[in-house]
Structure 1
Amino acid sequence: MGEEDGMRPTLKLGSIAGIPVGVHWSVLVIMLLLGQGLATAVLPAGAPGVSTGAYWTAAAAVTVLFLLSLLAHELSHAVVARHYGVPVKRITLWLLGGVAELEAEPPHARADLLVAIAGPLASLGAAAVFGAAAGGLYLTGLAPLVWVALGWLALVNAVLAVFNLLPGAPLDGGRVLRAALWWWRGDRAFAARAAARTGMVVSALLIAAGTLQIVWAADFGGLWLVLLGWFLLFAGQAEQADARLRGALAGLAVRDAMIPPPVSGYVTQRLTDFADVAAAQRPADAYPVLDPDGRPAGLVTLFAMARVPEARRPEATLRDVRIPLERLAVLSPDTPLDEAARSVVSSRLPALVIDQGILVGLLTTADLNRLIDLSTLRKGRAPS
């Protein structure tokens, strides 16, 4: 779960229950590695004497079923989250599994626990189904290649469930730990920091175990543990930063941090004319753009304006270089600031603050950082 800025889908597959689903390009890597390993090693060892074509066909089918089981894992998180009123942005399958991107945090500790545990339970359910099917075929003595393939799927889904229950964020076990600490202490920020720290310990242990496997056992399969460990380490650091951010911004709304727009342009305004106006006002890196009726229509950056060829500038308008409204974060002044911060940080562009169709302010990462520093000074200590 969670949102990784670089984990956007390369290929959109559609939607399930209204939730957009996509795959990252790295899925191709895992499909090739899994298919090759299954067709050349796992399946021939478990069901010898079958043709090469049959091994590769079965490997392809198993790889697709494995990806579908990953999708079921993430979809379970998403469905339970939506049950508790948490919007789900999308689900993306990638190299190391999948990500269900939630746009807000669960409202209470019980919801946090159930959202977290839903994924591992789905994986255990898949393991039980594949295991029962494999056992049934094994008892009949028919189709050994099929029951070996199903047995592998059962084992991998069981391992996936157990691994995800390791007690450290961003793994599901870390979410379970966070929910338990939140329920115990009544402090979500404390629980999130503790889960993030535990996750960094888990990641360090995985890196150490993988390194020992490579160095002492000369088994390069340990590279997977090292890769997982490094991913969890960076993700744990991001979780820790997010927990600090939420702790500093808790109880505040967007209106407490937003700034008035320095100056606004119009979609029909020429670049050269707007540049003169902007130069005479408070300097900024980005400016809102309005339609002829004064409604917000997007954002224009100095960088984009400067990239317009000099010969085109006299005739170019802000409509030609604006970032459309649908690609920007749009917030209400009453949006909780700790929730709005995610949108601002992930987009890396100012968010437009709109109240009843009227532009009332901008919110940038600089505004968030300023408020965090002020909060730190008022507390008299750095957030931990």
Structure 2
Amino acid sequence: MTKNAGWVPRPVVRSIERVDDSRAMTPLPPGRGRPVGRVAGIPVYASASMLLLAVLVTIVYGDYAREELGLAQPWAYLLGSGFVVCLIGSVLLHELGHALIARRFGIGVRRITLELLSGWTEMDRDAPTPRVDALVSLAGPAVSLLLGGAATAVMLVLPERALTREVAFQLALSNVLVAFFNVLPGLPLDGGRALRALLWAVLRDRNRATVVAGWAGRGLAVVTAAVVLLLQQLGVVTMLGLIFVLLVVLTLWQGAGQSIRLGRMTGRFPLIDLGALARPLLTVPAGTPLGEAQRRRAQDPRPDVVLAVADAAGSLTALVDPVAAERVPVGRRPWVSVESVARSRDALTVLPLGLTGEQVVRALQAHPGVQYLVTAGEDVVGVLRVADVAAVLEPRRASRN
């Protein structure tokens, strides 16, 4: 599988400058997992769930080797752990297929993360064209298919009862199954990304293509769950196999839902207008009691006014933090100065008027916060609240809240 990560501006720059519109915004990497090394210069991370996978597969395969191959207990589980290493190596090579093809087309690769049921290749931007998107997506399954073929060739030349032949058989089977499953046409699978690339080329709209491919992924999840439940009732699949496949189905369903949500959100980026969303300012002098500042705001006829603090020269120095202000007991507000619940202007990210919706979202992701200063040249013209952007991107969720 592949996952893209949003482009992050230089963290030392607090004022967000205009950036290249060709870089599509996608979510920032989740940051999970611990670094385990580098391959081809790409950082590789392993999540805590990988340990669970290693233990589970070692036990299951060790029990199989002990019962079916007649190995003594220590050697059976040693064989199981060897199979785990080969399996993780196969997943890593699958992800390297994505990563190296992405780099071939000038897409930076931030990291590879190995998880319980899959791996992720996180790139710094989306593919620029449907063709590149399809090639990057299908590179991983192609590597898995090649590994399956190589393991099959090794198996055929090994002696009939050799333990290495059994391991080669399992590797061949697992890689072919991984290749087959990943090319199924539904996000977040690699085949779903290829389907999106095809729809993107036909519809000329990447966001709509993402939503459609996400729903295809949910359809695949439902069909897979129904089939495996039927096979379990017929005795073809064991209870352990049923649980494993249902975990895969759950992962597929959640990933498809995230893809649908992302496609809808990115399609609404053009609706983000800083000038329209910026809330007006009401400045009060430093030293003003919080209660008095809130009284003035209540009397201001403008809707959604944001309290700000000004120095003796009338220059804006800070914004009142609405959360911190609400935490002050009502009885104490006449005795608490407004700047004690304010955040310094220097600590706030500046968003100049004229940024596109995509650039605004990138800035908010790169510099998480509640409030942002909106400027026109040297003048502060208003305040953007992240909740207002969220309401534009996901109006249904905002209405429920």
Same fold? TM cut 0.5: yes
Say yes or no: does 1:114 pair with 2:135.
Answer: yes
Residue correspondence of structure 1 range 182-197 to structure 2 within 5 A? 182-197=200-215
Q: State the secondary structure of the residue aligned to 1:2.
A: strand
Instruction: Tell me how far 1:119 sits from its aligned partner.
Output: 1.1
Q: State the secondary structure of the residue aligned to 2:114.
A: strand
Instruction: Tell me how far 1:117 sits from its aligned partner.
Output: 0.5
Instruction: Tell me how far 1:96 sits from its aligned partner.
Output: 1.1
Structure with the bigger RCO (C-alpha within 8 Å, sep 6+) is 2
CA 1:279–1:52: 2 relative to 1, 3 Å: farther
Task: Report the equivalent of 2:118.
Answer: 97
Task: Report the equivalent of 2:192.
Answer: 174
> Which stretch of structure 1 is more off in the superposition, 191-200 or 51-60?
51-60
Give the one of 3, 7, 10 matched to 2:33: 10
CA 1:263–1:84: 2 relative to 1, 3 Å: farther
Give the one of 172, 175, 184 matched to 1:154: 172
Instruction: Tell me how far 1:207 sits from its aligned partner.
Output: 1.5
Instruction: Tell me how far 1:195 sits from its aligned partner.
Output: 0.8
List per-residue Cα deviations over 1:279-329 (Å, max 9, x = no partner): 988989999xxxxxxxxxxx9976689999xxxx99xx99xx99xx9xx99
List per-residue Cα deviations over 1:151-175 (Å, max 9, x = no partner): 2112101100100011111111111
Task: Report the equivalent of 1:377.
Answer: none
Q: State the secondary structure of the residue aligned to 1:20.
A: strand
Bigger-Rg structure (1/2): 2
Residue correspondence of structure 1 range 79-94 to structure 2 within 5 A? 79-94=100-115
CA 1:19–1:213: 2 relative to 1, 3 Å: same
Instruction: Tell me how far 1:78 sits from its aligned partner.
Output: 2.6
Aligned residue type for 2:238: D
RMSD of equivalent CA atoms: 4.7
> Which stretch of structure 1 is more off in the superposition, 98-107 or 84-93?
84-93
The count of corresponding residues between Structure 1 and Structure 2 is 347
| Kept after mapping to 1: 8 A contact 2:279/2:304 | no
Instruction: Tell me how far 1:373 sits from its aligned partner.
Output: 5.2
Aligned residue type for 1:150: A
List per-residue Cα deviations over 1:50-94 (Å, max 9, x = no partner): 433222222112201211211222232233334334444432211
* TM-score, with structure 1 as normaliser: 0.70
CA 1:195–1:2: 2 relative to 1, 3 Å: same
Unaligned runs of 5+ in 1: 288-298, 375-384
| Kept after mapping to 1: 8 A contact 2:102/2:136 | yes
Task: Report the equivalent of 2:313.
Answer: none
Aligned residue type for 2:51: L
Aligned residue type for 1:160: V
Aligned residue type for 2:88: L
* TM-score, with structure 2 as normaliser: 0.68
Q: State the secondary structure of the residue aligned to 2:147.
A: helix
In percent, how many aligned pairs have the same letter? Answer: 27
Aligned residue type for 1:214: Q
Say yes or no: does 1:219 pair with 2:238.
Answer: yes
| Kept after mapping to 1: 8 A contact 2:49/2:115 | yes
Say yes or no: does 1:71 pair with 2:92.
Answer: yes
Residue correspondence of structure 1 range 299-338 to structure 2 within 5 A? 337-338=357-358
List per-residue Cα deviations over 1:228-282 (Å, max 9, x = no partner): 2222122212211111112222x57785777479799xxxx9xx99999899889
Say yes or no: does 1:367 pair with 2:368.
Answer: no
CA 1:35–1:5: 2 relative to 1, 3 Å: farther
Task: Report the equivalent of 2:267.
Answer: 247
Instruction: Tell me how far 1:330 sits from its aligned partner.
Output: 9.6
Instruction: Tell me how far 1:109 sits from its aligned partner.
Output: 0.4
